Amino acid sequence: MTFLDDFMIRAALAGLGLALAAAPLGCFVVWRRMAYFGDATAHAAILGVALSLAFSTSIFAGVLVVSLGMALTVAALSGRGFALDTMLGVLAHSALAFGLVAASFLSGIRIDLMAYLFGDILAVMPPDLAVIWGGAALVLGLIAWRWSHLLTATLNPDLAFSEGIDPKREQLVLTLALAIVVAVAIKVVGALLITAMLIIPAAAARPFSRTPEGMALVAIGVAGFSVLAGLRASYHFDTPTGPTIVCVVAVLFALSVSIAGMSGRGRGG
């Protein structure tokens, strides 16, 4: 029996890979108030799954292409006079609906939609781990490479322009990273919970961080702990694993807000 023969170890490694990729990217999602952007991209993942199965291609590749296409579409349409919330509602839910309908036409192909909607982390196999950790490494590499430029473009676009940084180019880097995270995360937490794993660890880390780098590191810790605690709770209480992980991170966020609120009142008194 090898190390990776234990399904719980594979699940833990898959979740930790997702935490490493999603948490630092989630900080930029929170700073830029891009939660809507993540939702639209994640909802498109189901359409990517259906198209991948229809054309007998890699699920990861199909989800990546469709998610990237959705992210680029949202980025292109924003700022062109469209009502953003309306546009995102149309795109996100239309993509999800078309994906579900397309999946119903896949005759002769057995597809577990619940696994793609809410994740199936306990079914992760070694090849899936290679994809998840490869994607995580790519996202971390992109963020580390562009960190200072991404940060400047996020905090002060005018300053970015004056320093020769193109905010639209940095937005494109984030768009690519977001599509990769969606493609990686669909196996772990599913299309409907991906945005939660992006924004909640970052939001929980925010009150306890004095620097952007510190916030990214704390967010990784929150996400990693949530994965391990969620796996344990799911195993003990026989609950769905992906949603349980998100429940744990939601509880941590609530504790974070409560502690930050009490600390604020203490300083005020």
- When divided into structural domains, the chain yields a total of 1
Predicted confidence at residue 86, as pLDDT, reads: 76
Query: Residue 227 falls within a domain, yes or no?
Result: no
> Is residue 261 in some structural domain?
no
Is residue 253 in some structural domain? no
The more confident residue out of 127 and 103 is 127
Domain residues for 131?
Answer: 3-193
Domain-embedded: residue 184: yes
Note whether residue 144 is domain-resident. yes
Confirm whether 260 is domain-assigned: no
Would you say residue 139 lies in a domain? Answer: yes
User: What is the share, in percent, of the chain residues with pLDDT greater than 70?
Assistant: 92
From the list 230, 198, 205, the residue with the least C-alpha distance to 219 is 205
Q: How far apart are CA 222 and CA 2, in angstroms?
A: 29
Question: Whole-structure pTM over 0.75, yes or no?
Answer: yes
pLDDT tens column, 177-223:
999 999 989 989 998 899 899 999 999 999 988 899 999 999 999 99
pLDDT tens per residue across span 220-234: 999 999 999 999 999
Residue 178 CB contacts under 8 Å (≥ 6 apart), including other chains: 25, 29, 37, 38, 41, 67, 71, 198
| Per-residue buried b or exposed e for 68-101, using 16+ beta carbons within 10 Å of the residue's own CB | bbbbebbeeeeeeeeeeeebbeebbeebbebbbe
* pLDDT for the residue 89: 78
Structural domain contains residue 210: no
CB atoms within 10 A of CB 42: 32
Residue 1 confidence (pLDDT): 46
Which CATH number fits the domain that encloses residue 169?
1.10.3470.10
